[in-house]
Amino acid sequence: MILNNKNSKNLFNKAKKLMPGGVSSPVRSFKAVGGTPHFISRGDGPYIIDEDNNKFIDFTCSWGPLILGHNNKKIRESIIEVAKLGTSFGTPTKRENTLAELIIDAIESIEKVRFVNSGTEATMSAVRLARGYTKRDLIVKFEGCYHGHADIFLSSAGSGMATLDQPVSPGVPQSVIDSTITLEFNNHEQLEKTFDKFKNKIAAVIIEPITGNMSVIKPKKEFLKRLRELTIENDSLLIFDEVMTGFRVSHGGAQELLGIKPDITTLGKVIGGGLPVGAYGGSSKIMSKISPEGPIYQAGTLSGNPVSMSAGIAMLTQLKDKKVYKKLNEISDYLHDGLIKISLSHNYPLKVNKYCSMIGLFCTELEINNYNDISQSCVDRYNELHRYFLNNYIYLPPSAYEALFLSTEMKKENIDYVLEVFDGFCSNYSLK
Please provide the average confidence, as pLDDT, over all residues in the chain.
93
Long-range CB pairs of 156-161 (<8 Å, 24+ gap) are: 156/182, 156/371, 157/213, 158/211, 158/213, 158/214, 158/371, 158/401, 159/27, 159/213, 159/214, 159/399, 159/401, 159/402, 160/25, 160/26, 160/27, 160/399
**Which pLDDT score, from 0 to 100, does residue 418 have?**
98
Q: How many separate domains does the chain show?
A: 2
Give a three-class secondary structure readout of 286-339: HHCCECCCCCECCCCCCCCCHHHHHHHHHHHHHCCCCHHHHHHHHHHHHHHHHH
Same domain, 173 and 59: no
**Largest CA-CA distance found in the chain, in angstroms, rounded:** 66
> Quick check: is 147 in a domain?
yes
Domain that includes residue 22, residue range: 6-68+322-430
Same domain, 397 and 337: yes
- Cβ atoms 421, 57 nearer than 8 A: no
**Which pLDDT score, from 0 to 100, does residue 168 have?**
61
- When pLDDT is averaged across residues 406-425 and rounded to a whole number, the result is 98
Same domain, 96 and 203: yes
Task: Determine what percent of the chain is predicted with pLDDT higher than 90.
Answer: 86
**Which pLDDT score, from 0 to 100, does residue 430 have?**
56
In this structure, the strands spanning 202-207 and 138-142 are parallel
Cα separation of 146 and 162, whole Å?
9
**Model pLDDT for residues 28-75, shown as the tens digit of each residue:** 999 989 999 999 999 999 999 999 999 999 999 999 999 999 999 999
Residue 377 confidence (pLDDT) above 90: no
Same domain, 245 and 314: yes
The band of 1, judged by pLDDT with boundaries at 50, 70 and 90, is: low
Residue 164 confidence (pLDDT) above 50: no
- When pLDDT is averaged across residues 163-189 and rounded to a whole number, the result is 75
Cα separation of 40 and 48, whole Å?
7
**Which pLDDT score, from 0 to 100, does residue 96 have?**
98
**Which pLDDT score, from 0 to 100, does residue 151 have?**
72
- When pLDDT is averaged across residues 370-386 and rounded to a whole number, the result is 89
Residue 109 confidence (pLDDT) above 50: yes
Cα separation of 429 and 432, whole Å?
5
Cα separation of 128 and 125, whole Å?
5
Same domain, 84 and 62: no
The band of 156, judged by pLDDT with boundaries at 50, 70 and 90, is: low
How would you class 200 by CB atoms within 10 Å of its CB: exposed for 0-12, middle for 13-18, buried for 19 or more?
Answer: exposed
- Cβ atoms 251, 320 nearer than 8 A: yes
Same domain, 153 and 291: yes
Decide which of 294, 318, 342 is a domain's last residue.
318
The band of 157, judged by pLDDT with boundaries at 50, 70 and 90, is: very low
Residue 162 confidence (pLDDT) above 60: no
Neighbour count for residue 181 (Cβ, 10 Å): 18
Same domain, 124 and 272: yes
Residue 181 confidence (pLDDT) above 70: yes
DSSP string, 214-244: SS-BPPPHHHHHHHHHHHHHTT-EEEEE-TT
- When pLDDT is averaged across residues 21-31 and rounded to a whole number, the result is 93
> Quick check: is 348 in a domain?
yes
Residue 396 confidence (pLDDT) above 90: yes
How would you class 417 by CB atoms within 10 Å of its CB: exposed for 0-12, middle for 13-18, buried for 19 or more?
Answer: middle
Annotated catalytic residues are 146, 241, 269
Neighbour count for residue 321 (Cβ, 10 Å): 11
The band of 429, judged by pLDDT with boundaries at 50, 70 and 90, is: confident
State the Cα angle at 386 between 381 and 390, rounded to 5°. 155
Q: Which of 156, 153, 233 is nearest to 192 (CA)?
A: 233
**Cα–Cα distance list, 377 to 65, 381, 382 (Å):** 30, 6, 9
Same domain, 212 and 312: yes
- When pLDDT is averaged across residues 328-353 and rounded to a whole number, the result is 97
- When pLDDT is averaged across residues 242-253 and rounded to a whole number, the result is 98
Same domain, 401 and 266: no
Task: Determine what percent of the chain is predicted with pLDDT higher than 70.
Answer: 95
**Which pLDDT score, from 0 to 100, does residue 24 have?**
94
Which CATH number fits the domain that encloses residue 347? 3.90.1150.10
Q: Helix, strand or coil for residue 187? A: coil
**Helix H or strand E segment including 40:** strand 40-44
Cα separation of 390 and 383, whole Å?
11
DSSP string, 108-158: TT-SEEEEESSHHHHHHHHHHHHHHHHT--EEEEETT----SSGGG-BS--
The band of 159, judged by pLDDT with boundaries at 50, 70 and 90, is: very low
Give a three-class secondary structure readout of 336-378: HHHHHHHHHHHCCCCEEEEECCEEEEECCCCCCCCHHHCCHHH
Q: Which of 144, 151, 148 is nearest to 171 (CA)?
A: 151
The band of 351, judged by pLDDT with boundaries at 50, 70 and 90, is: very high
**Which pLDDT score, from 0 to 100, does residue 395 have?**
98
- When pLDDT is averaged across residues 190-204 and rounded to a whole number, the result is 94
Residue 207 confidence (pLDDT) above 90: yes
**Which pLDDT score, from 0 to 100, does residue 431 have?**
43
